[in-house]
Chain A
Amino acid sequence: MAQPRADAPSKIILAGSDLSRVVDRIAHQILEKTSGATGTVLLGIPTRGVPLAHRLAARIHAFEGVEVPVGSLDITLYRDDLRLQATRALGKTELPAGGIEGLRVILVDDVLFSGRSVRAALDALKDLGRPSSVQLAVLVDRGHRQLPIRADYVGKNIPTAHSESVKVALTEVDGADEVRLIGGLQ
């Protein structure tokens, strides 16, 4: 797929406190839809899904005093596009001490796009155990699905053109919080 050039024009969609508010909203939705997040595990998909999962857990704890276990699920070895680019370094896969067996797993990612990453995550999850159910939380849904996949929790829907891309920055990884839409502008 065409990537916008590095010097393409870009526009900030969310920054700083906006992004925090969006995370708060997802945390509230999770509490609502999961009856107080009991029996729930958050698994972030590296790279940016992992700090997002930790933020969600922290917010849930702040709101309701509930400790939601957090882990990470690397999907690299399950991707269907491995051979389309240079070899990727692996991210970490770390399940919480209580595992995932019989629990509700919420996969956390920054951007939902084609749905292929989520499919890879579902494949990876299946090799790790048998959760009672799997849900998906994303900071941004930019559309253009190629698979029958939808998110249970969406921070912000950003309609995009195919030629555009969405770049999420998080303080833990990138030094600042912002969501930027790149390319496609005049």
Chain B
Amino acid sequence: MIKHLRSAADLDAATATLILDTAAEMAALSGREVKKLPALRGRTVVNLFYEDSTRTRISFEAAAKRLSADVINFSAKGSSVSKGESLKDTALTLQAMGADAVVIRHSASGAPHRLANWVEGSVVNAGDGTHEHPTQALLDAYTMRSRLGRLDGLKVAIVGDVLHSRVARSNVLLLTTLGAQVTVVGPPTLIPLEVGAALSDKTQVSYDLDAVLPESDVVMMLRVQTERMQDSYFPSAREYSRRYGLDVPRLKRLPEHAIVMHPGPMNRGMEIAPEVADSPRSTIVEQVANGVSVRMAVLYLLLGGK
């Protein structure tokens, strides 16, 4: 088993599949009355959050607690972190506390890689800057597999601000590893340079959402921050939503079986119309529930053994 989960690139197909299979077992066990499992008793998991993300933190916390790990939440607010303590000094403190795993959320890309140099335990990336968010990609893959029964050969469109999206990077890496065909879609200003060479040469690029939709089994809408238009990535929210928003007419262009995903939080009316977000084809609520199972699987596989 791998030691750290810093990037979806840390996962080969076998390991990624093992995580998804383990998550399925965890999900099955989560349905029962006694939710707690003893596997990580005596292990300490630290949630080190430099960015506010209550959803992700709670998801990791629930996952660790269901496996009976001790959880320490070390959030940037009201701690030495906000007083300017360096990541390295914080790491040494966590090391002294005997952290077996550190789940880190940070606004700087690569912070988990840096942290892994300074702690002996496992490092799990819970989102770093505009780099990656591998557990989000795992839960997205899990959701696709449970809805559509497979990942191999699945056609997935990832739509929106791919340039600034850590969710997109991790999903492209993971999904192509698992045999899906990924097309990133958005205005050219928001598609990173050489995305194919950088992430996976199987990645397609399109600027035309309408052309991609009829071919897609999954369409994943990324959050688009309206601030991006101040930086001239696109002219206006209205134009963005006309060209790249998923509305009801566009939903109808999708094949019958296709599903709609969104990593949240959504800008309803911007990248996704409210009717689409709430439609039965949307997996948005499921994604949240699957998050706990996937994170249990990750923590168990990283910490469960020797």
Find out whether the CB atom of B34 lies under 8 angstroms from the CB atom of A87. Answer: no
Complex: A129 Cα to B305 Cα, angstroms: 27
Nearest A residue (CB) for B1: A87
Complex: A127 Cα to B306 Cα, angstroms: 25
**B38 part of interface (Cβ distance < 8 Å):** yes
Nearest A residue (CB) for B303: A87
Interface 0/1 of B31-46, CB less than 8 Å to A:
0111011110000000
**B52 part of interface (Cβ distance < 8 Å):** no
CB neighbors of A among B4-61 (8 A) = 18, 21-22, 25-26, 28-29, 32-34, 36-39
Complex: A82 Cα to B305 Cα, angstroms: 5
Given A77-B39, A82-B305, A93-B25, residue A87 in contact with residue B32 (CB < 8 A):
no
Find out whether the CB atom of B306 lies under 8 angstroms from the CB atom of A77. Answer: no
Nearest A residue (CB) for B301: A87
A87 CB to nearest B CB, Å: 3
Q: Could you say which residues of chain A place their CB within 8 Å of the CB of B33? A: 129
Find out whether the CB atom of B305 lies under 8 angstroms from the CB atom of A88. Answer: yes
Q: Could you say which residues of chain A place their CB within 8 Å of the CB of B29? A: 77, 93
**Total residues of chain B contacting the partner, CB 8 A:** 22
Nearest B residue (CB) for A91: B25
**Total residues of chain A contacting the partner, CB 8 A:** 21
B28 CB to nearest A CB, Å: 6
**B235 part of interface (Cβ distance < 8 Å):** no
Of B18, B26, B32, B302, which is within 8 A of A89 by CB? B18
Find out whether the CB atom of A77 lies under 8 angstroms from the CB atom of B37. Answer: yes
Complex: A94 Cα to B32 Cα, angstroms: 11
Find out whether the CB atom of B25 lies under 8 angstroms from the CB atom of A83. Answer: no
A41 CB to nearest B CB, Å: 16
Find out whether the CB atom of B306 lies under 8 angstroms from the CB atom of A83. Answer: yes
Nearest B residue (CB) for A92: B25
Of A86, A91, A94, A127, which is within 8 A of B305 by CB? A86
B100 CB to nearest A CB, Å: 10
Q: Could you say which residues of chain B place their CB within 8 Å of the CB of A88? A: 304-305
Find out whether the CB atom of A77 lies under 8 angstroms from the CB atom of B300. Answer: yes
Complex: A144 Cα to B301 Cα, angstroms: 31
Complex: A77 Cα to B34 Cα, angstroms: 14
Tell which of B37, B38, B300 has the most Cβ of chain A within 10 Å.
Answer: B38
Find out whether the CB atom of B22 lies under 8 angstroms from the CB atom of A127. Answer: no
Find out whether the CB atom of B25 lies under 8 angstroms from the CB atom of A86. Answer: no
**A85 part of interface (Cβ distance < 8 Å):** yes
Find out whether the CB atom of A74 lies under 8 angstroms from the CB atom of B305. Answer: no
CB neighbors of A among B80-116 (8 A) = none
Complex: A94 Cα to B36 Cα, angstroms: 17
Q: Could you say which residues of chain B place their CB within 8 Å of the CB of A84? A: 306
CB neighbors of B among A87-107 (8 A) = 87-94
Complex: A91 Cα to B22 Cα, angstroms: 9
**A18 part of interface (Cβ distance < 8 Å):** no
Nearest 7 interchain pairs by C-beta: A87-B305, A77-B39, A127-B34, A90-B25, A77-B37, A87-B304, A86-B305
Seen from chain B, the residues whose Cβ lies within 8 Å of a Cβ on chain A are 1, 18, 21-22, 25-26, 28-29, 32-34, 36-39, 67, 300-302, 304-306
With A87-B302, A127-B37, A129-B33 known, 5 other A-B pairs at CB within 8 A are A77-B39, A87-B300, A88-B304, A127-B34, A128-B34
